[in-house]
């Protein structure tokens, strides 16, 4: 956790001030303005999203070409991780990777403001950060220079990733944002070395304004589609970060796994739905009755 703290705010004693003063310096504004934008990032993101038609991949890309609110969102999220108010995912993932003896080249796909790549570099990985959003990538590059972090940035709009190169690919809170999920899954499988690790979560949300950019909405289906591409799920970190190992998708064993997945998907989806429904338990019935009586 000390490394996470150092990555977010160096040796500064107040992480909040440090995060805000960085944002303020980058945007040439006051610390109070930066603070307000961190607190209001969601409203600002909704306004940015609604500023144009996002129903096509081009419309979605135009959002990533112009967003500034996500710099505040992700910087604030980094601060929350340091203070224990959000799950420190990079640290949990490093622990897992070490337990499996994984090392070498790591690609952080959908790297945002670059904090996770920075942490992985501190733990000795040879890191590439890649994103479709230039405003976010530019901020990550600026921060990395500030902290003397040696990671390679890739703007995915301008550069292809090399095939069969990485030992690990991480994709935090990213795969539900991509317009073409299957193409992305194939891309990630293609850049990993055989046996390499894909560490990803599927942050699906109910359809509403504040989650409009979560384009993909069914985590069980996404999990199946990732596996079909040529991955086997080996572990889950913190109940929500899936750890897949890359396998050859053209083997009979993989065909059998895919068939099995296809058969069990409807059952698992029914189970998921059942867990989401608020069944009328005696306790809930009594509560509803009390509420109704109070309203009379």
Nearer to ligand SAM, 108 or 254 (CB): 108
Region from 32-40, 44-52, 166-174, 242-250 binding ligand SAM, contact rule CB under 6 A: 166-174
Residues that contact ligand SAM, how many (by CB under 6 A): 18
Measured between alpha carbons, how far is 135 from 189 in angstroms, rounded to an integer? 27
Measured between alpha carbons, how far is 65 from 211 in angstroms, rounded to an integer? 18
Closest distance to ligand SAM from the beta carbon of 12 (Å): 20
Site map (CB under 6 A) of ligand SAM, residues 93-112, x = contact:
----------------xxxx
Nearer to ligand SAM, 5 or 257 (CB): 5
In the region spanning residues 119 to 158, those forming contacts with ligand SAM, defined by CB under 6 A, are 131-133, 136, 156
Q: Does 241 bind ligand SAM (CB under 6 A)?
A: no
Nearer to ligand SAM, 20 or 119 (CB): 119
Nearer to ligand SAM, 111 or 254 (CB): 111
Closest distance to ligand SAM from the beta carbon of 132 (Å): 4
Site map (CB under 6 A) of ligand SAM, residues 170-209, x = contact:
--xxx--xx-----x-------------------------
Closest distance to ligand SAM from the beta carbon of 178 (Å): 4
Closest distance to ligand SAM from the beta carbon of 242 (Å): 15
Produce one character per residue of 135-160: b if its CB has 16 or more CB atoms within 10 Å, e if not. Answer: bbbbbbbebbeebebebebbebeeee
Nearer to ligand SAM, 205 or 284 (CB): 205
Nearer to ligand SAM, 157 or 264 (CB): 157
Pair 168, 125: CB distance under 8 Å: yes
Nearer to ligand SAM, 34 or 111 (CB): 111
In the region spanning residues 30 to 69, those forming contacts with ligand SAM, defined by CB under 6 A, are 64
Question: Which parts of this chain interact with ligand SAM (CB under 6 A)?
Answer: 64, 74, 109-112, 116, 131-133, 136, 156, 172-174, 177-178, 184
């Amino acid at each position: 956790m000390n490394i996470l703290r150092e990555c977010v705010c160096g040796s500064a004693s107040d992480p909040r001030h440090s995060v805000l003063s960085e944002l303020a310096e980058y945007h040439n504004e006051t610390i109070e303005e930066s603070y307000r934008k961190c607190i209001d990032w969601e409203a600002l993101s909704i306004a940015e999203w609604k500023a144009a038609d996002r129903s096509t991949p081009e419309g979605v890309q135009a959002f990533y070409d112009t967003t500034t609110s996500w710099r505040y969102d992700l910087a604030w999220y980094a601060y929350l991780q340091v203070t224990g108010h959000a799950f420190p995912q990079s640290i949990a993932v490093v622990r897992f990777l070490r337990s499996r003896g994984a090392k070498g080249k790591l690609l952080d796909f959908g790297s945002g403001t670059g904090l996770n790549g920075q942490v992985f570099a501190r733990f000795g990985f040879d890191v590439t950060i890649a994103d479709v959003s230039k405003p976010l990538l530019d901020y990550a590059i600026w921060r990395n220079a500030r902290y003397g972090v040696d990671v390679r940035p890739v703007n995915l709009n301008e550069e292809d990733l090399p095939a069969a190169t990485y030992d690990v690919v991480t994709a935090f809170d990213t795969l539900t944002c991509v317009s073409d999920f299957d193409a992305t899954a194939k891309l990630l499988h293609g850049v990993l070395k055989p046996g390499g690790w894909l560490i990803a979560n599927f942050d699906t949300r109910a359809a509403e304004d504040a989650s409009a950019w979560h384009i993909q909405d069914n985590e069980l289906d996404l999990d199946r589609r990732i596996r079909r591409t040529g991955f086997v799920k080996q572990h889950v970190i913190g109940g929500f970060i899936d750890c897949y190992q890359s396998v050859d998708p053209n083997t009979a064993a993989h065909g059998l796994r895919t068939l099995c997945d296809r058969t069990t998907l409807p059952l698992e989806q029914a189970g998921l739905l059942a867990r989401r429904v608020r069944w009328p338990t005696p306790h809930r019935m009594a509560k509803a009755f009390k509420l109704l009586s109070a309203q009379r």
